[in-house]
Structure 1
Amino acid sequence: MKRKMKKILAGLLCIAAVTMPASGVSAADAEEEAKQSYALPVQSNEIENWPEGPAVYGKSAIVIDADTKAVLYAKNIDDEHYPASITKVMTALLAAENGDLETGRVTISQESVDFLEPGDAYIGMRPGEEISLTDALYGVLLASANEVSYAVAENIGNTLSGTGTGYEKFVAAMNDRAGELGATHTHFVNPHGLQDENHYTSAHDMALISSELFSHPELMEIMQTYEHTIGPTNLETESRTFQQRHEMLVNWNDHYYEYCVGGKTGYTDEAGNTLITLADNGKMHLVCVEMETRGQHIYDDTRSILDYAFENFTRQEVDSSVLEQAQEEAHATVTETEPVYVSLPADASQEDLKFETGEENGESMLYLTYEGQTVGKAKADVDEKAVARKEKEEQGTASVLDIIKNVFEGRQWIVIAAAAAVIIVAVVILILVFRRRRRRSFLRTGRRQKRLERQRRRRMKRAARRSRRRGRKRW
């Protein structure tokens, strides 16, 4: 009975540590910080012809379509934050991809227990205990047990290639896998999310990582469970029972959300509240992530931006005519065997889609964009030479336009206009001088001709007088 009471007390302390505000931050300070975050701009609201989304209290927030990876709502989505326990989504994903949930076992090491500090979430595992990998992932995702997360990393890491301990190899694999999923602002240094200044991620990165959970029904089942019990182990005769902490999954909670199908909570003094929420209304699979939220706003924020996304966007299969247009304009032939989808504002048309090409994990991709935002993508064969020619032509046109734009946007046009005026004036002066000289030359020539003519006439008159005188003498 005494041991049982200790475990109950430990469990209550763990729950309190995760759900209570930071001891060093008063409620008033938290609310003031929340108000300041609420006033931060929502970048997706600045996109032309894009539905306007609500303000939220988190410093960063995002909603993406898990199937198309289109960003539907964006508030500082690439800012780096401490993730706290939402880190464990990456831990669970990597364990499911590299372990066997039917037969895999996890042994609790001395190190996985010794690193814990007062207030850290745990379920009282003892060094040397063995549990199934499935039970371990329930402990990771439902109870947010830090000692179990550490042990999962050690045990799965021992099966991975590379150098270092199993724990070190697992953390390295976390970063590698995050990069494969498109993360660009993430650096993990542990599998549990306890505070470390070098352990950070972004809302966008966590949304991309979490979207992969939809491909793992075994993890979705774990996240949707309200209560789980780990039975007696090789060292413990009593069972351990713990409950779901994501309030939107608990149907008698005020924050219950009918479309919520999974997620993970997180909290540390430094990170504030962090939350991942997966939602499915039968038409779209959405992932919502909010980070560094103070006060008690994170569930209301999540509901408002999920409702916004469901009400204002649709997931559509791309028409074959659009893909033909992409082939003509972007020189990319889609190689996907499955239909290609885009996530568009409800009143948008596929005729407004534009096309770009790129590469992901060594594969050529076609990106479909709307108002400059990627709303869908597909693997494609790309005619690189044709694309290069097109880019060269566009760059040439852009260079000329940029020169003109730069000239007229800056003060250079004043200098150029002045120079042009000087040149014009100089040309006019030269013309006038030339004409004047020509006229003078013409006048001089005319006067000379007249003088010569007068001289000729005088000679003729003299000759005529001489002739008359000689004639009179002769007669």
Structure 2
Amino acid sequence: MKILRFLTAVFLAGLTAALTALPVSAEGFTFNWDIGDEIYDGGLITEKTDSGGPHCKSLFMLNIDTDTVVYTLNPDDSLPMASMTKIMTYIVAYENIPDIENTVITVPQAVADDLEGSESSLAGVAVGEQLTGLQLLNLLMVPSGNDAALTFMKYVDEQYASGQLVPPDAPSPEDPGAGEGPGDEPGVTGDYVIPEGGMTDYTGKSYFVQLMNEKAEELGCRNTHFTNPHGLHNDNHYASARDMGRITQYAMQLPYFMDIVKQRQYDKEPTNMDADGDTLANTNRMLQPYGDNTYGNLYWYTYANGIKTGSHDQSGYCLAASASTYGYTYIVIAMGNMEGYEKGVHEEMLDCRTLFRWAFTSLGKKTIVSQGDILSSVNLEYAYQKDELLLAASENVSVMLPDSVEQSSIITTVEKPESVQAPIRKGEVVGTATLSYANEVIATVPLVATESVSRSDLIAGWEQGRALLSSPWSIAIMAALGALVIVYLILVVFYRRKQKQLRRVKKFRDL
């Protein structure tokens, strides 16, 4: 019985640890894409229309307010993410450069050397130009400057190599065997060396890139790997749409991030190398309400407020987009628009806008479970005049659902032990309820005891005794004892008969 109690305690402890902070999660709802018409004239779009879709290989859409995934398409496929990489670059730069707003960073010659001949997206910074970290963050995200990304990487690597940037988990120099300082780390030195793999792979040579991969792992990214801070193509540089969603959601909580990415243009102030300053447009055309000779304002979406574009021959067009209205905020990660890239048409932006319109007009926040709602019960042992314990939801659960969904359409599946033993505390986690709609899990909530129940030692003793007597081992032992008793009785009978016969023989002899 002690073993049974131990196993039950272990089960409940593990369940408590796993369910203490269960997130609301979902995998999305069905969305029927319209066929639409794509109207071109000499490669240019001549009519503002949302064409049929999806055009992208992979899509991931998340409601930020409830952390609900509302639409997915191949969300875990690893694909090149191009300049969406710079979202992680922003994170690592912001979190590893103290006082980044006021820190002055000088653009090194190595940045120009690495990007020479790449014909990639640049912010136009010059070698020797002095910029604050905040200016570089703007140049990184608005015009998508690869030169800004590399400047951050070189700066952090230099700080690390010189010992001015020490990782929190670095051994103390006073510790015996602490080894060389940061500047002596294998593969990360103060002297610039073109890494093996060229300007797209800094693996083993850049502490900054190491931090990018460590942050991805910390955020739970399983299908992502970085080799550089700008997103130029490398076979080992990739991400999934779901992982990019995690990275983007995290970045949105950092200071300045959303203020920067929602800008239609960035007005760069004069510097030591640029007396006039400059105005640089955002590469995200969903933010641009004005027309131009090629696109008009086809891609503009009035509620769009970010975040980051990406494109090259191997990735096609990519986009991390965000939009807010009616009190809700959504992000969409769109990856792998190859056909649009070949045509020079940003169909990934059309996909994002179509999904935003659908979500804002067809989905709403619904409270599907309230704290205290009774969702199940469990058998109760060792309690006086009570053999059942009610289980209730531990918290309110709200998710985004289609407006047409009725409460009766939500299926609740409960996972719980066969029984629990008193004593039980009110609020103690006993099981979990999984709520599903249209065969998709939309939420998970811990189930807790609705009351405290004390243990009856008398009942516990009785039940344990009965259980002991009814256990297979007890039955086997009692059967063995019974068999021994029967054998003993048989032997006694034979012995008495033998004694009786001996007495008769003796009496006969005496005569």
Structure 1 position 51, deviation (Å): 4.7
Asked if the contact 2:326/2:360 (under 8 Å) is kept, the reply is no
Residue of structure 2 equivalent to 1:309: 359
Q: CA deviation at 1:350?
A: 5.1
Question: How far off is 1:241 after superposition?
Answer: 2.4
Give the match for residue 292 of structure 1: 336
| Whole-Å separation in 2 of the counterparts to 1:306 and 1:238 | 39
| Mapped pair 1:177 → 2:248 | no
Structure 1: which amino acid aligns with 2:143?
A
Q: Give the drift of 1:70.
A: 2.3
Structure 1 equivalent of residue 89 of structure 2: 91
In 1: Cα distance, 2:245 partner to 2:62 partner:
7
Q: Provide, for residues 67-119 of structure 1, a one-character-per-residue CA deviation record: whole Å limited to 9, x for no partner.
A: 33322111111111100111111111332334434323333222222110331
**1:113 equivalent in alignment to 2:180:** no
User: Equivalent residue of 1:279, what SS?
Assistant: strand
Residues 381 and 222 of structure 1: CA distance in aligned 2, closer, same or farther (over 3 Å): farther
After superposition, the Cα gap between the structure-2 partners of 1:346 and 1:146, relative to the gap in structure 1 and judged at 3 Å, is same
Partner residue in 2 for 1:375:
442
Question: Which residue in 1 is equivalent to 2:266?
Answer: 228
Q: Which amino acid aligns with 2:112?
A: V
Deviations 1:335-381 (A, max 9, x none): x8xx6532222222456254689xxxxxx998754345343567x69
Cα distance between partner residues in 1 of 2:105 and 2:155 = 6
* Distance verdict in 2 for CA 1:306–1:234, change over 3 Å: same
Based on CA coordinates, which of the two structures has the bigger radius of gyration? 1
Choose from 56, 62, 65 the match for 1:64. Answer: 62
CA distance in 2, matches of 1:197, 1:237: 40
Partner secondary structure for residue 315 of structure 1: strand
Quick one: distance in 1 between partners of 2:390 and 2:281?
51
For residues 184-333 of structure 1, the aligned pairs below 5 Å read: 184-216=222-254, 218-252=256-290, 253-293=297-337, 294-295=339-340, 296=345, 297-317=347-367, 319-321=369-371, 325=375
- Structure 2 distance, partners of 1:151, 1:265, is 20
Mean Cα deviation higher: 110-119 or 77-86: 110-119
- Kept in 2, the 8 Å contact 1:356–1:369? The answer is no
What's 1:341 paired with? 398
Q: Which residue of 2 aligns with 1:401?
A: none
Deviations 1:238-281 (A, max 9, x none): 42321111111112233211111111111101111111110111
Give me the whole-angstrom Cα distance separating, in 1, the residues matched to 2:77 and 2:390: 32
Structure 1 unaligned regions, length at least 5: 1-43, 358-363, 384-475
Give the direction of change, closer, same or farther, for the CA distance of 1:96–1:332 in structure 2 (3 Å limit). farther
One-letter code of the match for 2:221?
A
Paired with 1:236 and 1:268, the residues of 2 have a C-alpha distance of: 29
Over 3 Å counting, the alpha-carbon distance change for 1:152 and 1:326 in structure 2 is: farther
Given that residues 372 and 393 in structure 2 are in contact (C-alpha distance below 8 angstroms), is that contact kept between their aligned partners in structure 1?
A: no
Higher mean Cα deviation, 53-62 or 260-269? 53-62
The alpha-carbon deviation at position 333 of structure 1 amounts to 7.1
How far, CA to CA, are the matches of 1:369 and 1:330 in structure 2?
22
Distance of 2:375 and 2:357 partners within structure 1: 33
Provide the residue aligned with 1:77 in structure 2: 75
Cα 1:179–1:310, aligned 2, differ >3 Å: closer, same or farther? farther
Q: What is the TM-score of this pair, normalised by structure 1?
A: 0.61
CA contact (8 A) 1:69 1:375 kept: no
Q: Which amino acid is the alignment partner of residue 347 of structure 1?
A: S
Q: Any conservation in 2 of the 1:160–1:170 contact (CA below 8 Å)? A: no
Aligned partner of 2:111: which letter? Answer: S
Alignment check: 8 A CA contact 1:58 1:292 kept: yes
Separation of aligned partners in 2, 1:129 and 1:223: 23
Please name the residue that 2:139 is paired with.
139
In structure 2, how many angstroms separate the alpha carbons of the residues matched to 1:257 and 1:326?
Answer: 46
Larger mean Cα displacement after TM superposition, 199-208 or 223-232: 223-232
- What whole-Å deviation, never above 9, does each CA across 1:374-400 have from its counterpart, x for those lacking one? 43567x6999xxxxxxxxxxxxxxxxx
SS of 1:325's equivalent in the other structure is strand
- Tell me how large the CA RMSD over aligned residues is: 3.4
Q: What's 1:152 paired with? A: 152
Listed as ranges, the gaps of 5+ residues in structure 2 are 1-26, 35-52, 171-181, 190-204, 291-296, 379-388, 416-430, 450-511
Aligned pairs for 1:395-434 (under 5 A) are: none
**172-181 or 217-226, which deviates more:** 172-181
Find the residue that maps to 1:286 and give its secondary structure.
strand
Distance 1:332 1:156 in 2: 51
Q: 2:468 matched to which residue of 1? A: none
What TM-score do the two structures reach when normalised by structure 2? 0.57
Distance 1:111 1:266, change over 3 A: same
Residue 56 of structure 1 and its aligned partner are, at CA, apart by 0.9
Which residue number in structure 2 is paired with residue 11 of structure 1? none
What SS does structure 2 have at the residue aligned with 1:256?
coil
How many Å separate the matches in 1 of 2:335 and 2:390? 37
- Structure (1/2) with the larger helix percentage: 1
- Tell me, yes or no, if structure 1 residue 123 matches structure 2 residue 167: no
Query: Which secondary structure state, in structure 1, belongs to the residue aligned with residue 217 of structure 2?
Result: helix
* Preserved CA contact (<8 Å) 1:330 1:356: no
Taking a change above 3 Å as real, the CA distance of residues 356 and 77 of structure 1, as seen in their structure-2 partners, is farther
Structure 1 letter corresponding to 2:153: A
**C-alpha deviation, 1:168, in angstroms:** 2.2
- Please say which of residues 65-74 and 323-332 is displaced more in the overlay: 323-332
